[in-house]
C-alpha cells in the first residue's frame, strides 16, 4: 500500500510539472511561433511605462484654446440680391447698406510656461480673435488676454488670471538629434489631451513658406488640425517645440509635421513678455546660398557659407567692413552654411552686442567685428502731418512677404507705400505698392531714414523720388505744396 502511494505521488508530481510546462508553452505552440523572451517583454513594458510617465507629467501643462472672431459676411442678406431682375430696380446700394457680421470659431492648443498663467500658442490660433477661452486639463475655464504676437515666427503669448499652475520646462532644442523619440500633445479636432508619439525626422527645416523666420523641427508624430500651439516634448518631459503646421494634401495627418524649436521660442517669448514685441538683431546685408557654380566662381573649396550679395549703406555690416562678394562662414562661432541659418542667428542676437564674423574674401580668411543693430519695425505707421509734398503718405519697411508679393528684387532697398490719404499732394503721382528707394537723390533704407528725410523737406520744395513700380525703376517728381 505504501509502495503504491509512493508511485502515485511520483506520478502526480510528474503530471503537475508537465501541466505547468504545457501552460507556459501552449500559447506559443498553438500560435506556431517562437515565444517572446521575458527580456523583450520586460523591455517593452518598461518603455511603455516610461512613455506613460512622460505623458502624465506633460498633460496638465497643455491647454485647449478656442476663439471667437467677428467677420464681415461677403454674401448678401437675401438670395434675391443675386437676381439681375431684382437688382435692376434696387441696385447694388441696398446690399451695401445692409452689412452683415457673423461669428466664427476655431480650436487650437497652448502650453503653460509659467505658474502664474503665461501660455504659449501659435499666432494663427488667436489672430484677430474677439474672445479667447482657455480650458485647462482639470476642466477649469479662463479668458485669455493677449500679451504679444509675433507673426514672423507664428508665436503668441497669452495670459490667464490663475496661479500655481503646472508649467512645462523648456528644453534645449539644439540637442535634438534626428531619430530621437518625441511626443506631441494637443487637442486635435477638439479631442482634449491627445498624445501621439514619433521621432524627429529632421531639424533646421527652412524655406517651408510658413513664417518669415523658419528653423523647424520635422516630426512624424501625428499632428492634426487643433494641434497648433501644442507641445512637442522629449523623453525628459521638456518642451522642445511648439507644434505649428502639417504638410498635407488632404488636410489631415500624412507623417510630416513642423514645430518651432524651443530655443527660438524662448527668445521670442521672453521679448514678448518683457516688451510686448520682439526686438531682433540686424546686420544689413542681402545674402544668398552658395551653389557649386558660385563656389567655382569665388574659388571656394566647397559650397559652404553664405554669400553677401549686397551691403546696405550705413548698416552695421558696412561699418564692420563687410563687402559685397564676401562669404560669411561663421557668425559668433556658429557655422552659417545656409542663408536661413545666418538670418535666424542674427535676428536672435541682442542689438548692441559685438560679434566676430569669419569671412572669406578673395581666398583670404578674415575675422571682422560687427556691432549688431536693431531691426526696424515692419508695422504700418500712421502718416505724419508733414507740410510738404509727402503729407498723407503711409509707408512700411519691406518684409519677406512683401518682397515675394510685389516681386521685388532681393537686393532692392527702400520702404513700401501702404496708403495715401485722399487729397494728399502725392495722390496722383504715387501708388500703393510703390517702393520709395530715394528721396532727393538720397537712399532710403528703412522707415527711420524716410522720416528723417521727409521731416526736412519744406512746403516750398519740389520732391524727386526714385520709385520701384511693377518691375521697373522710375523717377517721380511731386510739386511743392501751394
Residue 87's pLDDT band, with cuts at 50, 70 and 90, is very low
Is residue 112, in this structure, part of any structural domain at all? Answer: yes
Q: Domain with 457 in it: what CATH number?
A: 2.30.42.10
The pLDDT assigned to 64 comes to 93
Is residue 327, in this structure, part of any structural domain at all? Answer: yes
Note the residue count of the chain.
482
Give the residue numbers spanning the domain of 145. Answer: 60-159
The answer on 26 and 12 residing in a single domain is yes
Rounded CA separation 307/309 (Å):
6
Report phi then psi at 81, rounded to 5.
Answer: -65, -20
The answer on 65 and 51 residing in a single domain is no
- Asked if pLDDT for residue 9 goes beyond 60, the answer is no
List, for residues 32-66, the tens digit of each pLDDT value.
556 889 888 888 898 888 888 888 999 999 999 99
Residue 147's pLDDT band, with cuts at 50, 70 and 90, is very high
**Does residue 4 carry a catalytic annotation?**
no
Q: Domain with 233 in it: what CATH number?
A: 2.40.10.10
**Does residue 124 carry a catalytic annotation?**
yes
Rounded CA separation 51/315 (Å):
50
Residue % of the chain over a pLDDT of 70: 82
- Asked if pLDDT for residue 359 goes beyond 70, the answer is yes
Using CB atoms within 10 Å of the CB of residue 171, give its burial: 0 to 12 exposed, 13 to 18 middle, 19+ buried: buried
- Asked if pLDDT for residue 89 goes beyond 60, the answer is no
Is residue 165, in this structure, part of any structural domain at all? Answer: no
The pLDDT assigned to 25 comes to 55
List, for residues 180-195, the tens digit of each pLDDT value.
999 999 888 877 788 8
The pLDDT assigned to 29 comes to 45
Cα–Cα separations (whole angstroms), residue 143 to 16, 67, 214, 225 = 67, 10, 30, 22
Residue 381's pLDDT band, with cuts at 50, 70 and 90, is low
Rounded CA separation 138/282 (Å):
44
Give every CB contact of residue 349 below 8 A, 6+ residues apart in sequence. 281, 332, 355, 372
The pLDDT assigned to 5 comes to 53
End position of a domain, from candidates 275, 299, 331:
275
The pLDDT assigned to 19 comes to 53
- 361-364: long-range contacts at Cβ-Cβ below 8 A with a sequence spacing of 24 or more? 361/323, 361/325, 361/326, 361/327, 363/299
The answer on 74 and 33 residing in a single domain is no
Of 66, 109, 124, 434, catalytic:
124
Is residue 166, in this structure, part of any structural domain at all? Answer: no
Residue 314's pLDDT band, with cuts at 50, 70 and 90, is confident
Residue 292's pLDDT band, with cuts at 50, 70 and 90, is confident
H helix or E strand, kind and range, residue 181: strand 181-186
Using CB atoms within 10 Å of the CB of residue 382, give its burial: 0 to 12 exposed, 13 to 18 middle, 19+ buried: exposed
The answer on 64 and 149 residing in a single domain is yes
Of 228, 262, 348, 424, catalytic:
228
Rounded CA separation 312/290 (Å):
20
Higher pLDDT, 15 or 462: 462
Give every CB contact of residue 76 below 8 A, 6+ residues apart in sequence. 82, 95
The answer on 184 and 210 residing in a single domain is yes
- C-beta separation of 271 from 278 below 8 A: yes
H helix or E strand, kind and range, residue 265: helix 262-275
End position of a domain, from candidates 134, 159, 184:
159
The answer on 105 and 196 residing in a single domain is no
Would you call 392 helix, strand, or coil by DSSP? coil
The answer on 271 and 305 residing in a single domain is no
Establish how many alpha carbons lie within 13 A of residue 376's alpha carbon, considering only the half-sphere containing its beta carbon: 20
End position of a domain, from candidates 100, 129, 159:
159
Rounded CA separation 71/143 (Å):
20
Rounded CA separation 118/129 (Å):
18
**Does residue 154 carry a catalytic annotation?**
yes
Region of 233 (left: φ > 0; alpha: ψ -120 to 50; beta: rest) is: beta
Q: What is the mean pLDDT of the chain?
A: 82
Of 154, 220, 434, 449, catalytic:
154
Is residue 408, in this structure, part of any structural domain at all? Answer: yes
Domain count, the chain: 5
The answer on 340 and 402 residing in a single domain is no
Is residue 385, in this structure, part of any structural domain at all? Answer: no
- Asked if pLDDT for residue 99 goes beyond 60, the answer is no
The answer on 359 and 427 residing in a single domain is no
Cα–Cα separations (whole angstroms), residue 262 to 36, 183, 232, 259, 355 = 40, 14, 9, 9, 23
Higher pLDDT, 87 or 444: 444
Is residue 316, in this structure, part of any structural domain at all? Answer: yes
The pLDDT assigned to 299 comes to 78
Using CA atoms in the order 159, 160, 161, 164, what is the torsion angle rounded to 10 degrees? -100
The answer on 320 and 293 residing in a single domain is yes
188: cell is 486635435
Rounded CA separation 111/59 (Å):
10
The answer on 216 and 179 residing in a single domain is yes
In our burial notation (b when 16+ CB lie closer than 10 A, e otherwise), range 70-101 reads eeeeeebeeeeeeeeeebeeeeeeebeeeeee
- C-beta separation of 233 from 54 below 8 A: yes
The answer on 116 and 34 residing in a single domain is no
Identify the top-confidence range among 73-82, 88-97, 246-255: 246-255
Is residue 409, in this structure, part of any structural domain at all? Answer: yes
Report phi then psi at 479, rounded to 5.
Answer: -70, 155
Measured in Å, how far apart are the chain's first and last C-alpha atoms? 136
**DSSP-based helix, strand, coil % in the chain, nearest 5:** 25, 30, 40
Amino acid at each position: 500500500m505504501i509502495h503504491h502511494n509512493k508511485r502515485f505521488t511520483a506520478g502526480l508530481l510528474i503530471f503537475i510539472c508537465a501541466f505547468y510546462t504545457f501552460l507556459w508553452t501552449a500559447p506559443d505552440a498553438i500560435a506556431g511561433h517562437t515565444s517572446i523572451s521575458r527580456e523583450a517583454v520586460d523591455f517593452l513594458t518598461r518603455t511603455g511605462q516610461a512613455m506613460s510617465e512622460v505623458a502624465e507629467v506633460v498633460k496638465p501643462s497643455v491647454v485647449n484654446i478656442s476663439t471667437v472672431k467677428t467677420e464681415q459676411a461677403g454674401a448678401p442678406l437675401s438670395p434675391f440680391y443675386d437676381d439681375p431682375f431684382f437688382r435692376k430696380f434696387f441696385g447694388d446700394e441696398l446690399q451695401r447698406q445692409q452689412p452683415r457680421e457673423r461669428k466664427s470659431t476655431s480650436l487650437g492648443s497652448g502650453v503653460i510656461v509659467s505658474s502664474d498663467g503665461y501660455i504659449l500658442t501659435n499666432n494663427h490660433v488667436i489672430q484677430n480673435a474677439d474672445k479667447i477661452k482657455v480650458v485647462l486639463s482639470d476642466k477649469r475655464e479662463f479668458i485669455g488676454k493677449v500679451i504679444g504676437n509675433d507673426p514672423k515666427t507664428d508665436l503668441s503669448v497669452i495670459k490667464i488670471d490663475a496661479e500655481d499652475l503646472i508649467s512645462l520646462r523648456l528644453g534645449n532644442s539644439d540637442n535634438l538629434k534626428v531619430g530621437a523619440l518625441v511626443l506631441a500633445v494637443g487637442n486635435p479636432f477638439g479631442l482634449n489631451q491627445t498624445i501621439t508619439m514619433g521621432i524627429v525626422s529632421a531639424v533646421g527645416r527652412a524655406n517651408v513658406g510658413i513664417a518669415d523666420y523658419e528653423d523647424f523641427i520635422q516630426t512624424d508624430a501625428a499632428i492634426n488640425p487643433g494641434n497648433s500651439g501644442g507641445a512637442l516634448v522629449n523623453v525628459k518631459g521638456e518642451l522642445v517645440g511648439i507644434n505649428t503646421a502639417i504638410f498635407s494634401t488632404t488636410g489631415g495627418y500624412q507623417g510630416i509635421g513642423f514645430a518651432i524649436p524651443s530655443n527660438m521660442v524662448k527668445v521670442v517669448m521672453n521679448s514678448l513678455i518683457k516688451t510686448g514685441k520682439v526686438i531682433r538683431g540686424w546686420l544689413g546685408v542681402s545674402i544668398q546660398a552658395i551653389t557649386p557654380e558660385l563656389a567655382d566662381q569665388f574659388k571656394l573649396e566647397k559650397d559652404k557659407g553664405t554669400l553677401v550679395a549686397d551691403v546696405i549703406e550705413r548698416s552695421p555690416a558696412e561699418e564692420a567692413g563687410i563687402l559685397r562678394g564676401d562669404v560669411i562662414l561663421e557668425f559668433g562661432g556658429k557655422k552659417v552654411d545656409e542663408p536661413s541659418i545666418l538670418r535666424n542667428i542674427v535676428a536672435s542676437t541682442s542689438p548692441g552686442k559685438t560679434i566676430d564674423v569669419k569671412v572669406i574674401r578673395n581666398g583670404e580668411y578674415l575675422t571682422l567685428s560687427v556691432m549688431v543693430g536693431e531691426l526696424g519695425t515692419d508695422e504700418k505707421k500712421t502718416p505724419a502731418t508733414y507740410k510738404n509734398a509727402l503729407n498723407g503718405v503711409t509707408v512700411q519697411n519691406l518684409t519677406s512677404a512683401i518682397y515675394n508679393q510685389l516681386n521685388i528684387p532681393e537686393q532692392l532697398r527702400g520702404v513700401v507705400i501702404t496708403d495715401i490719404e485722399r487729397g494728399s499732394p502725392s495722390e496722383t503721382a504715387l501708388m500703393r505698392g510703390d517702393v520709395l528707394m530715394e528721396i532727393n537723390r538720397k537712399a532710403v533704407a528703412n522707415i527711420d531714414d524716410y522720416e528723417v528725410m521727409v521731416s526736412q523737406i519744406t512746403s516750398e520744395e519740389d520732391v524727386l523720388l526714385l520709385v520701384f513700380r511693377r518691375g521697373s525703376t522710375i523717377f517721380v517728381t511731386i510739386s511743392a505744396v501751394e
